[in-house]
Amino acid sequence: MEGLLRSLSEEGDGSADALRVVNYFDKLLQFRAGIDELVRSTAMLIGTEAGYNGPGGGCGFNSLGRMRPQDPPEEAVASLLSGSDAESGLVWVVPKPNDAEMAQLILERMALAAGTILVRQAEASRLGDGEPLRLLIEALPSISELREEALRRLGFRSDWRVRVVVARGSKSELSEPRTWREWFGPENRCTAPVLIGNAHVVMVHNGDRLPGSPMDGADLMAVGAAGSALAPRDSYLAALRTLRLCSSTLGPRMLSYDGLGSLRRIAEIEPPVARGTELVQKMDVLLRSAAGLGEILALDSYCRHSNVRAAATELSLHHSSLAHRLKNVGAKLAIDVFDAAQRNDAWLALQLLRVAGSETDEA
């Protein structure tokens, strides 16, 4: 196909443009593009705007690949989608002036590709509630055929590098695929969420640049290490360990395994072991009162900054008030927080305090 395209292009035959369009959309399907990727690529191909509207929502992009409202403008041309295996909806493009034929061809190929993508999504949903992703995480490594079938149903390729993201929270948004897609953004390809234990789990392709704050509805979130799409369990376990260092009380609420550094060793400690540390037990007692919580938060900020004024600024306190609070918490914990070595011990104990308060979901 590529050789034929080059030949026609050299001959200056106008049909080469049509074949390029066909090849373009074939490639999108070959690389298992999602609806967002399809619409974004179409908008950039046609050089104007394109979009998709369906019962579960939609998306729109301009010629630069930036998001725009999903509703088509007046000058757009649209094509309805329907079928027994796909949700009905429509795709649309805005034709360029004096180029209606090319716009119609692009719209036709876009509609065919969208129908195929929706069929794939329907097939994945029929496999069960999150079963493809659950199988990839829980199945034995030797069952390669099952893994490849699960990836196919998820719309992922076996040679992709992926990350697993886990989130805890009680709000319904965590179970909505659209909420996750919006949080990841159009440049990242993600699966629908599946509940494993008490954590919602999602697998994402191109997840190197993710938002720095948790998505709406999530109390805590953690991003696992990059790994093969055929074996995402290691990334899942890394995400669970990372989640141990997150805290809705002490913060942070979201962490990435790649950013832990030496804390990876602490994240490997089991919660019962962390709870057995004497200093952690004293801190845990303080957390049970409002005054004690404030003192622990002050100590945590001071240990991170190693500077009273910087910590006071973060906590919106006067530095003398923070110093008094630190002196009080030091007396209760029987440590000198202003001594570098003991402050380091307190910092380690605060990490163990987070681990001690965490839960385990390992499948």
111 plus 175 within the same structural domain: no
135 plus 252 within the same structural domain: yes
Q: What dihedral angle (degrees, nearest 10) is formed by the CA atoms of 220, 225, 230, 232?
A: -30
Domain boundary among the residues 233, 259, 285 is at 259
> In this structure, is residue 363 part of a structural domain?
no
> In this structure, is residue 265 part of a structural domain?
no
- C-alpha torsion sign, points 166, 171, 175, 180: negative
Domain boundary among the residues 224, 259, 294 is at 259
Domains: count for the chain:
3
Q: Where are the alpha helices (DSSP H) in 244-315?
A: 263-267, 271-275, 278-287, 290-305, 308-315
> In this structure, is residue 198 part of a structural domain?
yes
Q: What angle do CA 166, 171, 177 make, to 5 degrees?
A: 60
322 plus 338 within the same structural domain: yes
Could you tell me whether strands 254-256 and 220-223 are parallel, antiparallel, or unpaired per DSSP bridges? parallel
The per-residue pLDDT for 248 is 92
Q: Which two tokens stand for residue 54?
A: 């369906």
Q: What angle do CA 94, 97, 101 make, to 5 degrees?
A: 75
CATH number reported for the structural domain that contains residue 94 in this entry: 3.30.450
CATH number reported for the structural domain that contains residue 340 in this entry: 1.10.10
> In this structure, is residue 41 part of a structural domain?
yes
In tens, the pLDDT along 167-185 reads: 999 888 898 888 898 898 8
221 plus 156 within the same structural domain: yes
In the predicted model, what is the mean pLDDT of residues 339-348?
95
34 plus 138 within the same structural domain: no
255 plus 297 within the same structural domain: no
Using a 10 angstrom Cβ sphere, with 0-12 exposed, 13-18 middle and 19 or more buried, the burial of residue 160 is middle
Could you tell me whether strands 77-81 and 89-93 are parallel, antiparallel, or unpaired per DSSP bridges? antiparallel
All residues at 6 or more sequence positions from 111 whose CB lies less than 8 Å from its CB, including other chains: 79, 81, 91
In the predicted model, what is the mean pLDDT of residues 1-14?
44
Domain boundary among the residues 216, 235, 259 is at 259
Q: Residue 38 to residues 19, 104, 109, 314: CA-CA distances in angstroms? A: 18, 16, 11, 44
86 plus 141 within the same structural domain: no
Confidence of residue 55 (pLDDT cuts 50, 70, 90): confident
In tens, the pLDDT along 199-244 reads: 999 999 977 888 889 998 899 999 999 999 988 999 999 999 999 9
The per-residue pLDDT for 4 is 38
> In this structure, is residue 361 part of a structural domain?
no
The neighbouring-strand residues paired with 50 are 61, 93
34 plus 79 within the same structural domain: yes
Using a 10 angstrom Cβ sphere, with 0-12 exposed, 13-18 middle and 19 or more buried, the burial of residue 139 is middle
Q: What is the DSSP letter of 31?
A: T
44 plus 103 within the same structural domain: yes
114 plus 138 within the same structural domain: no
Range of the domain at 302: 271-356
33 plus 86 within the same structural domain: yes
